Amino acid sequence: MCFYSLSGIPDHFLIEMDQFVDNGRRIAHASLNVSVYNNPALVPGVRHNALLLDRSQQYVDIGKHGDKCLGNLDLCPFGISIFFWIKIEEYADRMYIMSTGSDEIQIYCYQGNIYVNVNNKQTSWSVGLRQVTLEEWHFVELTWHPKHGMELFVDGEVHKSRSRHVREVSFTSPNHFYIGRPNPYDVAGGNFNYGAFAVDELEIWYDWRPNLIAWGRILRGTYVSWGTKLYLGYKYP
């Protein structure tokens, strides 16, 4: 199990959503198997291309990672941060944006709000916010730390979470890291809607956002231009 490389940089994945490989069955990535289902399209994104899901049972499966921080928060001693750009085309109740499993991370829409739930074996954190504007790019930053809890940033605005203690459970369901659909135990057999949105520049760090900023791993508040003016900058090792 590895959280930091020999250079002292935390484990880090960037899925750029720029190119299909394997005859359109996967998004190109050097180390993760990023499978796509039911023919989603590549469209112009924030930086190069983005992946568009149109609710016709299209989704992304980044696989099962129950033995890693990516799929098990109890294996994230330094926390985890997930950043991505999203442009929502339409809303529907129980439309899932992201799920790493019922006992991990869920982002979904319901009754005019976007909800984010983060769970480990002892504690559940949740935050809700009004739906963001349609057909515009928004930058979402989810960060969690076992001591400091969860924070959500949308276009730089912070949304604090509430926490509650839960009965300790053992994880038995084969959770996948999905974009655009839930894991089966998320909805317990109930109805849900596949995603209707474009996603771009999905970035995952095995560290807490304030640490990443303090050590200069990411930049925030710097203007750059990728064909449109953005309020954020990036710095990659």
Burial 131-148 (b: 16+ CB within 10 A, else e): ebeeeebebbbbbbbbee
Q: What is the CATH number of the domain that holds 208?
A: 2.60.120.200
Residue 235 lies in a domain: no
The CB density around residue 93, as the number of other CB atoms within 10 Å, is: 12
| Pure H helices in 130-196 | 184-187
The pTM of the full predicted model, rounded to 2 decimals, is: 0.88
Residue 153 lies in a domain: yes
How do the pLDDT tens digits run along the chain, 237 residues long?
444 444 568 899 999 999 999 999 999 999 999 999 999 999 999 999 999 999 999 999 999 998 889 888 999 999 999 999 999 999 999 999 999 976 689 999 999 899 999 998 889 999 999 999 999 999 999 999 999 999 999 999 999 888 877 655 555 566 899 999 999 888 877 899 999 999 999 999 999 999 999 998 998 875 444 444 344 444 433
Residue 237 lies in a domain: no
Residue 5 lies in a domain: no
Domain span at 198: 12-230
Give the count of alpha carbons within 13 A of 168, CB side only: 1
Residue 3 lies in a domain: no
